Structure 1
Amino acid sequence: MPDRPDIPLNALRSFEVAARQGSFTRAAIELRVTQAAVSHQISRLEDAMGLVLFHRTPSGLKLTDAGQALFPVMERGLDDIARMLDRVTGGQPSEVLNIGAVTTFAACWLIPRLEAFAKDHPGITLRLSTNNNRVEIAREGLDAAIRFGRGHWPGIEAHHVMDAPMSPLCAPEMNLRTPADLRGQRLLRSYRADEWPTWLAQAGEPCPPLTGPMLDSSVAMADLAAEGFGVALLPVPMFERQIQSGRLKRPFTTAVTLGSYWLTTPRDRRMTPALNALLEWMREA
């Protein structure tokens, strides 16, 4: 067994929380101490190790190479200790997951299923925040983020959740029989400029000049389409409930897949049992 020096446990705990939260301020809130106390513990640890663990930058804390090497070891060790304490004390294992999610996925797919997730996994508490697909996991104190895209983000490990084939959706009273009927219609669009041209090419139609409103929310586009304001190109799985209820109509079967939904984590973090449970549950649901 290796010799154990005088291990500064409080300082190591402060380091793990600060590295996970990306901020001394948020670490202080979680630990219920002052920011100065967290800073003092980190300085003590750095002095004891003779290493710098954080770069202090205007955008927040950034782990040094030494910090990146230490963080997953500390995170894994503290998780193992927590699980063992639950086991030996007979407590109910529990874990809080702070999850960020792109608004469309959160509002249209995940939130309606949260009750089912809670029944299937009573030991996991889910705390959900929404974003517009731009998210910094560590800086925002998240465990993971659900994003839309092709699965490639710098420094990020992406776990596929589901594909999101896109097709035009409109108000039920709108009479669209063939893709050619889209000529002259107001085509609602997102900031991703390739969506309508790609779908129309798949349908065998030229793309007209796109002059309709540009929105950064698929939920807003769906609301406008349901009110008859235009035709929206949307990820169909996110709006199945509205289609089934008759609020929206899908006039064509043609669909294109320009991205998928992914559960994403920083590459230097391991997937916890609770995150794995959430990922598998979403895939099955």
Structure 2
Amino acid sequence: MDRPNLPLNGLRAFEVAARQGSFTRAAIELRVTQAAVSQQIQRLEDLLGHRLFTRASSGLILTDIGAALYPVLTRNFDEIGEVLDRFQGGRYRETLHLGVVTTFAAGWLIPRLPSFEAAHPGISLRIFTHNNRIDIAKEGLHMAVRFGDRAAWPWLEAEPLAEAPLTPLCAPGLVPRLRVPQDLRAQRLLRSYRGDEWEAWFLAAGATCPPLEGPVLDSSVAMAELAAAGLGVALLPATMFTRQLEAGMLARPFDVDISAGRYWLAWPKGKALTPAMGQVRDWLVESGGLEQPSS
């Protein structure tokens, strides 16, 4: 198809609907009505002579031609947007959207942003926090810092950043009552959505894990706040809570820790790194190997 005849509005509507899996969510992103999105895609289908979607209870499903078209559009729209972003405001500047698991953002990244910005004035780094459950492409991110096992994300490229072993942290006033690991059985043990962590820690400590009850939290930052308030003992990556440990807000009663994964920098497979992505990757990787905080 000749360039002057490319149906750009329809292609854009199709790309957003395919990425969002819904005409309604596509309309919200494009700031138009759902009917407008549907009409644009209908015109594109009429022009091509093929259906691009089938509807199912779970949402939109791409047909074969839709599946062939979608990654080409996504890649090229991303590249166009990235180039335009670099020249906004009358000077060259590349914007990078970085998703960061909240614990890493609060405990490591945000305090170091001034030094990054001073060293990379041509990069506008936009931080979006998440709870480790994230779809990089769907959420419009270039890269994301995640925690866990590399094998859990086979569809992503990933660079290791830092180990973050888990260890019990609590309010300092609770430490005198925690002489041996078995003393934790008398305390409220705060739980994360990774349900097997306490069992693994007690096994490493040579003690028996008690029955686990109470709410499940998906934020290490929230668990740290509850622990600091004396409302329980949290199993946390101590390297991410150095400030609270040094300030006496939290204490580490035992030296035993376990590995539940590590922090990774991830981005979609097959996506070529822009200059900004490469510089952010290099800076994060070179800054890895975090020091363990003192007890």
Query: Which interval holds the TM-score relative to the shorter structure?
Result: 0.7 to 0.9
| 1:124 paired residue number | 124
Going from structure 1 to structure 2, the CA distance change for 1:4 and 1:141 (only over 3 Å counts) comes to closer
Going from structure 1 to structure 2, the CA distance change for 1:115 and 1:38 (only over 3 Å counts) comes to farther
Aligned-partner residue type, residue 68 of structure 1: A
Offset from partner CA, 1:109-131 (integer Å, 9 cap, x none): 44444444444354334151434
Report how far residue 201 of structure 1 moved.
Answer: 1.9
| 1:148 paired residue number | 147
| 2:208 paired residue number | 207
Matches within 5 A, 1:181-260: 181-203=183-205, 205-211=206-212, 213-216=214-217, 217-260=219-262
Aligned-partner residue type, residue 66 of structure 2: G
Going from structure 1 to structure 2, the CA distance change for 1:231 and 1:270 (only over 3 Å counts) comes to same
Report how far residue 166 of structure 1 moved.
Answer: 0.5
Offset from partner CA, 1:48-106 (integer Å, 9 cap, x none): 3333333444444444443333233223334444566668x974143352x54444334
Aligned-partner residue type, residue 201 of structure 1: L
Going from structure 1 to structure 2, the CA distance change for 1:135 and 1:59 (only over 3 Å counts) comes to farther
Going from structure 1 to structure 2, the CA distance change for 1:148 and 1:84 (only over 3 Å counts) comes to closer
* 2:264 is aligned with 1:262: yes
Percent identity between the two aligned chains: 52
Report how far residue 257 of structure 1 moved.
Answer: 0.7
Q: Secondary structure at the match of 1:66?
A: helix
Report how far residue 21 of structure 1 moved.
Answer: 4.2
* 2:50 is aligned with 1:51: yes
Deviates more, 1:210-219 or 1:190-199: 210-219
| Whole-angstrom CA distance in 2 between matches of 1:128 and 1:229 | 29
Deviates more, 1:66-75 or 1:244-253: 66-75
| Whole-angstrom CA distance in 1 between matches of 2:121 and 2:17 | 28
Report how far residue 193 of structure 1 moved.
Answer: 3.0
CA contact (8 A) 2:95 2:125 kept: yes
| Whole-angstrom CA distance in 1 between matches of 2:124 and 2:62 | 28
* 2:78 is aligned with 1:41: no
Which ranges of 4 or more aligned residues in structure 1 deviate by more than 6 Å? Answer: 2-5
Report how far residue 258 of structure 1 moved.
Answer: 1.2
Q: Secondary structure at the match of 1:37?
A: helix
TM-score (norm 2): 0.74
TM-score (norm 1): 0.76
Going from structure 1 to structure 2, the CA distance change for 1:28 and 1:189 (only over 3 Å counts) comes to closer
Alignment gaps of 5+ in structure 2:
288-295
Aligned length: 279
Going from structure 1 to structure 2, the CA distance change for 1:210 and 1:111 (only over 3 Å counts) comes to farther
| Whole-angstrom CA distance in 2 between matches of 1:116 and 1:68 | 42
CA contact (8 A) 2:136 2:143 kept: yes
| 1:76 paired residue number | 75
Alignment gaps of 5+ in structure 1:
none
| 1:168 paired residue number | 168
Going from structure 1 to structure 2, the CA distance change for 1:15 and 1:144 (only over 3 Å counts) comes to farther
| Whole-angstrom CA distance in 2 between matches of 1:11 and 1:199 | 54
RMSD between aligned residues: 3.6
CA contact (8 A) 2:198 2:209 kept: no
| Whole-angstrom CA distance in 2 between matches of 1:230 and 1:23 | 42
Q: Secondary structure at the match of 1:189?
A: strand
Going from structure 1 to structure 2, the CA distance change for 1:246 and 1:281 (only over 3 Å counts) comes to same
